[in-house]
Each structure stands twice: as structure tokens, then as C-alpha cells.
Structure 1
Amino acid sequence: MNADGLQAYLVTEFPQAFGSGRPHRVVRVDAAGVSLTLEASEEHLRPGDTVSGPSMMGLADIAAYAAILAAIGPVPLAVTTNFSINFLRKPPPGLLVADARLMKLGKRLAVCEVGLRPPNEGGDPFAVTGAEELCAHAVTTYSIPA
């Protein structure tokens, strides 16, 4: 699936998170993986004016799901079987980028790595310069139905 196809699929299947006026967006699909963004507004914040852990976990899980769908096509019943996240820094409100890549894609299981970061200094979520420090790092395993 390409970025437009993946975005359209997610708008249809997850209208609560994707689509017009919603906080999540697919911004990149290529051989290296996928990138999604979350526009972290007031509802995604915790005390201390930072993005909440549940919001970051949700973004990481959605990004892993998107990476898997980009590789195997629309499989709505692929589900998370394991999820581990390390919170590294407090991200500020605003745009948060999730870069997901498949580590292993098997017949029944997929393992994905996701890094969460603010956009680069120019604000471009597509460009990863290496200067952005990760806010969180997650590893997920998904079960793929027969």
C-alpha cells in the first residue's frame, strides 16, 4: 500500500483517529517503513504540558499496524500481541512523528520497531536529519490471521 491508499484505508476503518479534523496522518510509506504524525492537542497532554504516555503508545501502535499493512495489504484482523515502550524524553505539545519499520515479517507474526520524535527543526515530518532525539522507542509484535 502507498501513503494515499493507507491513509484512505485508515480513514475508513478508524474514523475516530484518521480523516478530516482528526489528529493522525500517514506521511510516508517506502521501502524503509512508514511515518505517521499525531497533532498533539489539549486532549493528548498530561500535567507538565507534555504529550501523555497513552497518546504516545497509541501513536506507536498505530504506526506499527500501518507498517504491517503497507507490507501485506489491508488485513483488518491483524492484532497486537505484544507491546513494549521506553519513554526517553518529554515531547512538547504539537506535532509528533512516528517512524516505524518492520524488523521481521513472517506468515503469522510481524515484529516492528517504532521511534517517536518531534519533527526536524524545519518542521518537516518527512525529513529525518538524525538531529532529532527520540521521545520514545517501542517494539511491537502483531499476530497476522491466516
Structure 2
Amino acid sequence: MTAADMSAFLDQEFEQVKGDFTIEHVAANQVTVRLNIQEKHLRPGGTVSGPSMFALADVSAYLVTLAMIGPEALAVTTNCSIDFMRKPAAGVDLIAHVRLLKLGRQLSVSDVLIYSEGMPAPVARASLTYAIPPAKNA
């Protein structure tokens, strides 16, 4: 799937996050996704909340999986481990760089590094596993 295909799919299937994410780059087994920071993503003090960073990691892992298998609304997260390593800059977008480490018939495993725009070191790292539903003709 292309970035435009994935954006249209997200808007259609997941209206609750419409406008939250921008898919900036798609390559084989890689995706770069931006969380467009809004007031709803901030915690007291103006920094991006942990749940918002988790959402970026989760959506990014989902998108890198879709980039390889095509549109599949029923792929679901089965595992996530996230390390929050440093405080993001206040009120700036977050950018996730995702690598698909393994793609099987039933599972995909991804590694996500999240950066606060303008900061050289990552603010979080996540490992996610997605379950892929059986093919419709199987």
C-alpha cells in the first residue's frame, strides 16, 4: 500500500483518529508516521502524554504491516512493550520510524523508535506484535 492508500484506509476504517497521523514515508518493511500534536495529546505541563505515544507506536506498527499485506481492518495488536526514555519537547509533533522485523502468515513483529521533532535522540522505543487474520480464501 502507498502512503495515500493507507491514509484513506485509516480515515475510512478508524474515523476516531482522523487527522491525528500523517504517513510521511513508505518503503519495503519501513514506514515513517507523524503524530500531529493537538491539545488532546498533551498532559499537564504541555508535554505529549504516554497514551498518545503508545497510540503512535501502535498505529505505526499496524501501518507497516498493512504496507506489506494490504488493507486488513481486522489485524490486531497482540503484544506491545514500550520504553519511555526521555521527555518529548513541549507541544511539537512526534515522528515514528518503524521497521517490520518479521512478517509471517499469522503474525508481524515491528520495532518502533519515536522522536520528538527537533530532538536527535528517541523519546520512546516500542516492540509490537500484530495478529493477521487468516486469508479469506483459506
Give ranges in structure 1 of 5+ residues lacking alignment.
122-130
Mapped to 2, the partners of 1:13 and 1:99 lie a distance apart of 23
Q: CA deviation at 1:46?
A: 1.1
Mapped to 1, the partners of 2:74 and 2:29 lie a distance apart of 24
Q: Which residue of 2 aligns with 1:145?
A: 133
Q: Which residue of 1 aligns with 2:8?
A: 8
Aligned partner of residue 50 in structure 1, secondary structure: coil
Paired letter, 1:136: A
Q: Which residue of 1 aligns with 2:105?
A: 107
Mapped to 2, the partners of 1:115 and 1:48 lie a distance apart of 23
Q: CA deviation at 1:108?
A: 0.5
Aligned partner of residue 74 in structure 1, secondary structure: coil
Mapped to 2, the partners of 1:109 and 1:32 lie a distance apart of 14
Q: Which residue of 1 aligns with 2:115?
A: 117
Residues paired across the two proteins, number: 133
Paired letter, 2:38: S
Q: CA deviation at 1:140?
A: 0.3
Q: Which residue of 2 aligns with 1:86?
A: 83
Percent identity reads: 47
Q: Which residue of 1 aligns with 2:120?
A: 132
Mapped to 1, the partners of 2:16 and 2:23 lie a distance apart of 15
Mapped to 2, the partners of 1:43 and 1:88 lie a distance apart of 22
Give ranges in structure 2 of 5+ residues lacking alignment.
none
Paired letter, 2:114: L
The 5-angstrom pairing of residues 34-73 of structure 1 reads 34-73=31-70
Moved over 4 A (4+): none
The answer to whether residue 96 in structure 2 is matched with residue 98 in structure 1 is yes
